[in-house]
Amino acid sequence: MEENLVFELGHNSVLTTQRTGRHLIVLRSWDRDRIVFESINFSRLRSLTVFGNWKSFFISKSMRLLRVLDLEDASGVKQDDLDKILKLLCRLKFLSLRGRSEICYLPSSLGGLRQLQTLDVRHTSIVTLPENISSLKNLQYIRAGAAVQTSVPHASSSWLPEFRRSSRLVGIVVPSGIGELTALHTLGVINIGASGGKDIMKEIKKLTQLRKLGVSGINRHNCKSFFADPGHVHLESLLVRLDKDNQDCLDDISLPWENLQSLKLHGLQDKLPLATSHLNKLRKLDLEMATLQKNGIEFLSNLPELCILRIRVNQLEDDKLHFYAELYGEQLLTFQKVKILEIACSSVRTINVSFGSKSMKNLELLKLDCSSASYQLNGLNYLSELKQVLLKGANDEIKTALEERLLADHPETPPTVKLEELPHSS
């Protein structure tokens, strides 16, 4: 701020305060005084971030050199405002409309942003990308998809609110020319089925520089084609969401990408894709399944680099979740690098969660969703590095009981226990 690089409009901003700089932040506390705003010199402005109520006069003809526009935390942005933005700010490199549900479509004037590198339209009402997006050859990141209220297969009416709110993403429809954006590093979430099925998959396979890909609309008709070609040798992060009533379509599928570090599989029935040596680099795994069986846990225990494991299930085999493996009666070293473990289950019964003497020795954070299921925890004394237990949807009584248990198991440095409120369902 001393070098006039960053300035902000807040509750103390008046005509006599700083009126120039490269980066402007409009805070919620500012009173939206148009006279003050129009007195600012925007000739050097390169980025604009808006918190709170949006006003149409926030975009000015004098902002022609603006490179970054972040409206994720702005409210009241209208479709007409977006039309104006795209026509005036033709040098934008970064545009975020994330969370602006009032925005329904991207105008054709988007094709004029020839320098655009990042487009973030997640959690908007945009369901289709315009045809002329293929002309934006500098695009590296397309982030899209909107949350809807659904549940995993066979889930009961008591399913977790978080699941209902975000367990599915409506993937966006992309045009046939998407394969021309060869600079893309990130693409998703796109709806494979609604975008043309096998034809759109041919387009995606042209994007050889992809590091992060998210797809929905995977079903029995297109899954083998999607996973058949190893392609995308640089792919590090993959999200796959299965169509309803297609929960078992990945049962006989192998994952062919050897550089995967992050994998999200949502909508599975009771089987994981075939275990292959290609997953040796996997560090983060997020599973959403109807049922998780014992052999599924054994599969997970064989992932050597796994650090973060999130499991969301409707039910568990025998209501048990045992994070250890044995051979001839002896426990094996398993889950050696896992530091974060999250568990959520919609079962109204008690879930038996057990840790072995040689498993998860580096676990630091354990997160349990108690809004539907209750948990019987065994082997907490083996978790020597455990620092925190986060309880979602629990009460003070559950918290106190767990604190006493942890104090007995870890008398010198007991892990902290915190309550996390469930988000309000929309």
CATH code, domain carrying 190: 3.80.10
Question: Which of 292, 307, 328 lies at the terminal end of a domain, its last residue?
Answer: 292
Taking the model in full, what pTM does it have? 0.87
| 93 sits in which H/E element | none
Phi, psi torsion values for 203, nearest 5 degrees = -65, -45
Within this chain, do residues 175 and 207 fall inside the same structural domain, yes or no? yes
Q: Number of folded domains in the chain?
A: 3
CATH code of the domain covering residue 82:
3.80.10.10
How far is residue 138 from each of residues 92, 118, 134, 180, measured CA to CA in Å?
11, 9, 10, 11
Q: Report the DSSP beta bridge partners of residue 242.
A: 218
What's the token pair of residue 38?
């129009």
Q: What is the pLDDT of residues 166-176, one digit of tens each?
A: 334 489 999 98
Structure confidence at residue 2 (pLDDT): 60
Average pLDDT, stretch 92-121? 96
Binning pLDDT at 50, 70 and 90, where does residue 153 land? very low
Average pLDDT, stretch 110-130? 95
More confident residue, 81 or 201: 81
| 35 sits in which H/E element | helix 34-38
Within this chain, do residues 307 and 332 fall inside the same structural domain, yes or no? yes
Binning pLDDT at 50, 70 and 90, where does residue 132 land? very high
Structure confidence at residue 334 (pLDDT): 92
Question: Which of 119, 144, 167 lies at the terminal end of a domain, its last residue?
Answer: 119
Q: Tell me the C-alpha distance between 349 and 417, whole Å.
A: 22
In the 8-state DSSP scheme, what is residue 370? -
Average pLDDT, stretch 145-152? 51
Within this chain, do residues 234 and 149 fall inside the same structural domain, yes or no? yes
Within this chain, do residues 288 and 342 fall inside the same structural domain, yes or no? no
Task: Among 108-122, 217-231, 278-292, 320-334, name the one with the lowest average pLDDT.
Answer: 217-231
Q: Tell me the C-alpha distance between 200 and 241, whole Å.
A: 16
Structure confidence at residue 278 (pLDDT): 72
Within this chain, do residues 417 and 332 fall inside the same structural domain, yes or no? yes
Within this chain, do residues 279 and 312 fall inside the same structural domain, yes or no? no
* C-alpha count within 13 angstroms, C-beta hemisphere, residue 275: 11
Within this chain, do residues 158 and 38 fall inside the same structural domain, yes or no? no
Q: Tell me the C-alpha distance between 289 and 378, whole Å.
A: 23
pLDDT higher than threshold 50 for residue 158: no
Within this chain, do residues 135 and 245 fall inside the same structural domain, yes or no? yes
Task: Among 86-95, 226-235, 257-266, 279-288, name the one with the lowest average pLDDT.
Answer: 226-235
Structure confidence at residue 403 (pLDDT): 94
Q: What is the pLDDT of residues 199-221, one digit of tens each?
A: 888 899 899 999 999 999 998 88
Task: Among 72-76, 96-100, 339-343, 348-352, name the one with the lowest average pLDDT.
Answer: 348-352
45 burial class (0-12, 13-18, 19+ CB within 10 angstroms)? buried
Asked whether the beta carbons of 138 and 400 are under 8 A apart, the reply is no
Within this chain, do residues 335 and 364 fall inside the same structural domain, yes or no? yes
Binning pLDDT at 50, 70 and 90, where does residue 164 land? very low
Within this chain, do residues 226 and 271 fall inside the same structural domain, yes or no? yes
Question: Which of 65, 95, 119 lies at the terminal end of a domain, its last residue?
Answer: 119
Residue numbers of the domain that contains 43: 1-119
Within this chain, do residues 131 and 271 fall inside the same structural domain, yes or no? yes
Q: What is the pLDDT of residues 362-401, one digit of tens each?
A: 999 999 999 888 999 999 999 999 999 999 999 999 999 9
Within this chain, do residues 156 and 273 fall inside the same structural domain, yes or no? yes
Q: Report the DSSP beta bridge partners of residue 327.
A: 330
Q: Report the DSSP beta bridge partners of residue 187.
A: 142, 213
